Amino acid sequence: NAGVTQTPKFRVLKTGQSMTLLCAQDMNHEYMYWYRQDPGMGLRLIHYSVGEGTTAKGEVPDGYNVSRLKKQNFLLGLESAAPSQTSVYFCASSYPGGSGHSLLNYGYTFGSGTRLTVV
């Protein structure tokens, strides 16, 4: 089924370890986003990408890096995990671009999330 796939779904890290979260979409979307969800704070944007080879910082980028080497994949890296990065991470994508699509009317597809615990 078409959609956004996040791997892994669960992970426990020790403080200082590194890891990469993968977001893959098969809808040819241009825009991709990484959010984190913490209780009482909604979802906050970490980084985003408006196309292959581009990335930009969101609201809470510190401690994270991203890459978008292929259009369908958006990777989120934690170089040295900290307990404050314990969270649920969601990836989203939107907008296939090209003629015939209005970005303002286009929706967003979310992945099912990655629950990360840093101990």
Partner 1 sequence: AQSVTQLDSHVSVSEGTPVLLRCNYSSSYSPSLFWYVQHPNKGLQLLLKYTSAATLVKGINGFEAEFKKSETSFHLTKPSAHMSDAAEYFCVVRSMDSSYKLIFGSGTRLLVRP
3-state SS class at 102: coil
Query: Do 38 and 15 contact (CB within 8 A), yes or no?
Result: no
- Subset of residues 23 to 42 that bind partner 1, contact rule: CB under 8 A: 31, 33, 35, 40-42
Separation CA 59–CA 47 (nearest Å): 8
Least Å from the CB of residue 7 to partner 1: 14
Separation CA 10–CA 53 (nearest Å): 27
3-state SS class at 84: helix
Residue (28 or 80) nearer to partner 1, CB: 28
Stretch that binds partner 1, among 18-26, 66-74, 78-86, 99-107 (CB under 8 A): 99-107
Task: Provide the binding-site residues for partner 1, judged by CB under 8 A.
Answer: 31, 33, 35, 40-45, 48, 50, 56, 58, 90, 92, 94-95, 103-105, 107-108, 110-113
